[in-house]
Chains A and B, each alone.
Chain A
Amino acid sequence: MSGEYTVSREDWSLHRKGEIDRERHREKVREAIKKNLADVVSEESIILSDGRKIVKVPIRSLEEYHFRFDTGKRKHIGQGQGDTKEGDVLGREQKKSTAPGKGAGEEPGMDYYEAEITIDELAQLIFEDLGLPNLQPKKKPELASEAFEFKDIRKKGISTNIDRKRTILEAIKRNARQGQPRFGKITREDLRYKTWDITYKYESNAVILAMMDTSGSMGPYEKYIARSFFFWMTRFLRTKYQNVQIVFLAHHVEAKETTEEEFFTKGASGGTRCSSVYQLALETIAKRYNPEDYNIYAFHFSDGDNLTSDNEKCLKLINELLQVCNLVGYGEIEGPYYFTSTLRVVYRKIVNPKFTSVGIKSKSDVYPALKTFFNPHPENAAK
Chain B
Amino acid sequence: MHPQEEMKILEKSIEDITAVAKKFNLDFYNMYFEICPAEIIYSFGSYGMPTRFSHWTFGKAYHKMKTQYDYNLSRIYEMVINTDPCYAFLLEGNSLVQNKMVIAHVLAHSDFFKNNYYFSRTSRKMVESMSLAADRIRGYEFKYGRDKVESFLDAVIALQENIDPERHINPGGVQDKKDRTKEQTHLGRNCSGGKCRQGKEETPYDDLWDLERSECDSTCAEAEDEGKKIPGQPEKDLLLFMMNYARDLDDWQRDILSILREEMLYFWPQMQTKIMNEGWATYWHMRIMREMDLTEDEALEFAKTHAGVVQTSKYQLNPYYLGLKIFENIEKRWDHPTTEERKIYERPGGQGKQKIFEVRETENDVSFIRNYLTRELIEENDLYLFKKIGYDWKVTDKDWEKVRDGLVANLYNCGLPYIVVEDGDFVKQGELYLRHVHEGEDLDIYYLERTLPHVHKIWGRKVHLETVVDGKKILFTYNGDKVYKKTI
Contacts and interface: CB of A to CB of B under 8 A. Distances in A.
Given A18-B62, A26-B63, A76-B387, 11 more contacts: A1-B15, A25-B59, A64-B57, A66-B158, A70-B445, A74-B441, A76-B386, A83-B382, A84-B395, A88-B395, A107-B315
Contacts of B14: 5, 7
Interface of A: 1-10, 12, 15, 17-26, 28, 62-93, 95, 106-109
A68 B35 contact: no
A66 B59 contact: no
Contact of B56 (A2, A5, A21, A76): A21
A21 B18 contact: no
A69 B444 contact: yes
Contact of B443 (A12, A70, A109): A70
Interface string B413-429: 00111010000000000
A90 B315 contact: yes
B67 to A, nearest CB: 9
Contacts of B416: 67-68
Nearest to A94: B391
Contacts of B403: 77
Per DSSP, are chain B's interface residues mostly helix, strand or loop, or mixed? mixed
B40 to A, nearest CB: 5
Contacts of B63: 22, 25-26
A90 B389 CA distance: 11
B47 interface: yes
Contacts of B394: 87-90
Nearest to B86: A5
Given A24-B56, A24-B59, A89-B393, A108 B314 contact: no
Nearest to B415: A69
B43 A18 contact: yes
A72 B317 CA distance: 18
Contacts of B95: none
A23 B66 CA distance: 13
A21 to B, nearest CB: 3
Contacts of B442: 69-70, 73
B312 A79 contact: yes
A366 B396 CA distance: 47
A26 B408 CA distance: 38
A88 B37 CA distance: 44
Interface of B: 3, 7, 10-11, 14-15, 18, 30-37, 39-40, 42-43, 46-47, 50, 54-60, 62-63, 66, 85, 92, 157-162, 312-318, 321-322, 381-388, 391-398, 403, 406-407, 409-410, 415-417, 419, 436, 441-445, 447-448, 450-451, 454
B437 to A, nearest CB: 12
B398 A78 contact: no
6 contacts: A64-B158, A68-B417, A69-B443, A76-B387, A80-B384, A90-B392
Contact of A81 (B31, B382, B443): B382
Given A24-B56, A65-B454, A92 B30 contact: no
Contact of B30 (A5, A26, A72, A82): A5
Contacts of A106: 313, 315-316
Given A5-B30, A7-B7, A72-B388, A84 B398 contact: yes
A79 B313 contact: yes
Given A18-B58, A66-B159, A107 B36 contact: no
Nearest to B10: A7
A87 B395 contact: yes
Given A66-B447, A72-B388, A92-B392, A79 B317 contact: yes
A15 B62 CA distance: 13
B66 to A, nearest CB: 7
B315 A76 contact: yes
A71 B316 contact: no
B373 to A, nearest CB: 11
B59 to A, nearest CB: 3
B221 to A, nearest CB: 27
Contacts of A95: 391
A25 B56 contact: yes
Given A67-B417, A69-B444, A89-B392, A75 B406 contact: yes
Contacts of B7: 7, 9
B296 to A, nearest CB: 27
B383 A79 contact: yes
A75 B387 contact: yes
Contact of A86 (B39, B57, B398): B398
A4 B33 contact: no
A91 B316 CA distance: 13
Given A67-B447, A70-B445, A90-B395, A75 B385 contact: yes
Contacts of A107: 315, 393
A92 B391 contact: yes
Nearest to B34: A8
Contacts of B56: 21, 24-25, 28
B407 to A, nearest CB: 5
Contacts of A24: 54, 56, 59
A77 B395 contact: no
B55 A77 contact: no
Contacts of A18: 39-40, 42-43, 46-47, 58-59, 62, 66
* Interface core residue of A7, A19, A77 (most chain B CB under 10 Å): A77
Nearest to B36: A12
A79 B381 contact: yes
A262 B148 CA distance: 52
B448 A69 contact: no
B18 A90 contact: no
A80 B407 CA distance: 15
* Interface core residue of A12, A85, A106 (most chain B CB under 10 Å): A12
Given A64-B158, A74-B387, A77-B384, A5 B18 contact: yes
A26 B56 CA distance: 9
A83 B381 CA distance: 10
A70 B387 CA distance: 11
A4 B382 contact: no
